[in-house]
Amino acid sequence: MTERDRILQDVVNFIEENIRNSTKTEVNYIDLKNQKSRILTNQNHVIFGRRGAGKSSLLNVLIDGYNVKNGITLKLNMEDFKDITFPNIITHILIKMFQKFDFPVQKTKWFEFKKKRYLKKQRKKLKNTLTTMVKELKDMLQEPEVYTLTETNQNNHQTSGKTKSGIGYNKLKVSREKSTMNGKKTESTRTYEKDKLLNLRDKIVSYKDILNDYSNLYNFDYIFLVLDDFYFIPRDIQSKFIDYFHRLTKDTPLFLKVASIKFRTRLYEEDNGTYIGTEINHDIMPIELDYTLDDFKSTTQFMRNILNQINNKFNSHFINELFSGEGFNQLCLASGGVPRDFLSLITGLLNKIISKEISKINKVEVTKIAIEQISNKINSIKSDSADELNNLEITLHYIKNEVVVKRKRNTFFIGKDEMDNNPEEYGLIKQLMDLRLIHLVNSNTSSKNDGKRYEAYMV
């Protein structure tokens, strides 16, 4: 193996080890849009980007635990909770969130004995409160989601005792002193339903107190709750889920940092005249990560920066010389502006160079390997969109037959009026774009024949 091939193999190994994001990845987030400074602000944020667009890489800026800035970050991956029903999923997230709270000893000067004793007492008190709260939340998971509670009262008697209330249950422990009126005893019964969601809502004030007490104890400016891969939560419960945690942010130092795929996310909805969730640009601010073919110049610049970062690490700038003709531009087109797809394609091409199958990366070779890897994208439908698998496959099959087979093209147009009149079908197109099976080429173009406005897509 030549020295060049050895370096290329090191580059391939490095990319393959880092292509899936983790907290240990050595590939840094390329920040052309100044998103790092935004994500660090005390604001609720939702990060939108297709799979492989760099959402998790951006979130790595928020260190899980104590940050350099005065605060704490609590990171959770929502894929771990995707099969949990609502509202149990809220309970699980609260448990994980509270369990991540740490209680390090605060530094005090040697002569501040009273302050030291006070802080120790406050830590112990708050820690005990959290322990009790977590236990109640775990107990709640064992209870049914909805249950019936019956209370029986007798006239002319005194009822003594108490109601034991816990999260997720309400068991009555009552003793009665019975009496009669004119020799008759009367009785009234009241039956009503209780459910976990109402009990969780009743506890919001208590949870807010915990958040405020914890931040006051350590003088925190913020508590970031990071919910990565939010799109794994079923869409029909997303707005209700985020609504609950958004309530916890009111008048507390808690801020939400949510990462998701745009067209698989519903953060806001109306239910019987009631608005549920978080409204974008009001309750939560969006951060858009996607680079699309609609702005090809920015996309190629972004991809070039990724490649240069790898070149600098291995002093392998000769990789740029391996591209021939329109090879690099075709690689950007084939990746659709998605960093993970770009890196996946380039490793395949470098492997072919190492094995002497090809000598240059040109337009034809990029197209070939993109076709070879299409099965991986098809499989992503099955793993990520199982609930809409049938509809997505039908839509993709239709595009293939009508555009590729019949018309011998790889681009197609969707009229603006068609989008408005067929929102469900348009939603499927957007999901196929999120899955990187089709790519937006132009968001606002026209036809010479009819003067209407269209969106242009590439297969």
CATH number at residue 48: 3.40.50
Q: How far is CA 232 from CA 173, 244, 265, in A?
A: 41, 17, 9
Q: Which of 196, 214, 236 is the last residue of a domain?
A: 196
Would you say residue 66 has pLDDT above 80?
A: no
* Interval 46-59 mean pLDDT: 89
* Interval 349-371 mean pLDDT: 92
Q: Which amino acid is at 293?
A: L
Minimum mean pLDDT among 4-13, 189-198, 393-402: which range? 189-198
| Residues with Cβ within 8 Å of residue 385, at least 6 apart in sequence | 264, 392, 431, 435
Instruction: Enter the tokens of residue 429.
Output: 């197109």
pLDDT band of 85, cuts 50, 70, 90: very high
Indicate the pairing of strand 274-277 with strand 268-271: antiparallel
Query: E strands within 9-109?
Result: 45-48, 65-66, 71-77
pLDDT band of 125, cuts 50, 70, 90: very high
Specify whether 284 is located in the same domain as 305: no
Closest CA to 230 of 20, 41, 427, 51: 51
- Any domain includes 115: yes
pLDDT recorded at residue 458? 84
The pLDDT > 70 percentage for the chain reads 83
Specify whether 419 is located in the same domain as 390: yes
Q: How far is CA 47 from CA 162, 172, 196, 234, 262, in A?
A: 48, 46, 30, 18, 9
Would you say residue 171 has pLDDT above 50?
A: no
Specify whether 236 is located in the same domain as 380: no
pLDDT recorded at residue 432? 83
Would you say residue 356 has pLDDT above 70?
A: yes
* Interval 401-422 mean pLDDT: 86
Closest CA to 122 of 109, 136, 108, 103: 103
Residue labelled with tokens 């799109």? 231
Angle of CA points 128, 130, 133, to nearest 5°? 110
| Side-chain-facing half-sphere of 96: CA atoms under 13 Å | 18
431 CA to centre of own chain:
16
pLDDT recorded at residue 215? 94
Would you say residue 167 has pLDDT above 60?
A: no
Would you say residue 282 has pLDDT above 70?
A: yes
pLDDT recorded at residue 329? 93
| Residues with Cβ within 8 Å of residue 23, at least 6 apart in sequence | 60, 64
Give, to the nearest 10 degrees, the angle between helix 327-335 and helix 363-372: 20
Minimum mean pLDDT among 185-199, 320-334, 352-366: which range? 185-199
Specify whether 212 is located in the same domain as 341: no
- Any domain includes 230: yes
Specify whether 281 is located in the same domain as 350: no
Q: Which of 288, 310, 344 is the last residue of a domain?
A: 288
CB contact at 8 A, 231 and 220: no
- Any domain includes 121: yes
Specify whether 189 is located in the same domain as 262: no
* Interval 113-130 mean pLDDT: 92
* Interval 30-49 mean pLDDT: 90
| Residues with Cβ within 8 Å of residue 270, at least 6 apart in sequence | 276
Would you say residue 23 has pLDDT above 90?
A: no
Would you say residue 120 has pLDDT above 70?
A: yes
Specify whether 58 is located in the same domain as 71: yes
- Any domain includes 3: no
Its domain, for residue 170, covers 146-196
133 CA to centre of own chain:
26
Would you say residue 303 has pLDDT above 80?
A: yes
pLDDT recorded at residue 431? 81
Would you say residue 390 has pLDDT above 60?
A: yes
H or E element, residue 223:
strand 222-228
pLDDT band of 377, cuts 50, 70, 90: low
pLDDT band of 385, cuts 50, 70, 90: low
Minimum mean pLDDT among 159-168, 327-336, 362-371: which range? 159-168
Residue 256: count of CB within 10 angstroms of its CB: 21
Specify whether 231 is located in the same domain as 347: no
Angle of CA points 391, 396, 397, to nearest 5°? 100
| Cis amide bond preceding 87, omega within 30 | yes
pLDDT recorded at residue 430? 83
pLDDT band of 159, cuts 50, 70, 90: very low
Would you say residue 424 has pLDDT above 60?
A: yes
* Interval 335-342 mean pLDDT: 87
Q: d(Cα 199, Cα 186) in Å, to the nearest integer?
A: 32
Specify whether 158 is located in the same domain as 117: no
270 against 207, higher pLDDT? 207
The most distant pair of C-alpha atoms in the chain lies apart, rounded to whole Å, by 108
Q: d(Cα 349, Cα 343) in Å, to the nearest integer?
A: 10
pLDDT recorded at residue 70? 86
Give 159's strand partners: 176
Specify whether 383 is located in the same domain as 415: yes
Q: d(Cα 279, Cα 72) in Å, to the nearest integer?
A: 25
Specify whether 116 is located in the same domain as 229: yes
Would you say residue 381 has pLDDT above 70?
A: no
Closest CA to 291 of 275, 303, 281, 283: 303
pLDDT recorded at residue 163? 39
**Full-prediction pTM beyond 0.85?**
no
What total number of domains does the chain contain?
3
Minimum mean pLDDT among 52-61, 141-150, 180-189: which range? 180-189
* Average model confidence (pLDDT) across the chain: 84
Would you say residue 182 has pLDDT above 60?
A: no
- Any domain includes 284: yes
Q: Which amino acid is at 199?
A: N
Would you say residue 100 has pLDDT above 90?
A: yes
Specify whether 319 is located in the same domain as 421: yes
Q: How far is CA 413 from CA 312, 348, 454, 457, in A?
A: 40, 31, 6, 6
Would you say residue 333 has pLDDT above 90?
A: no
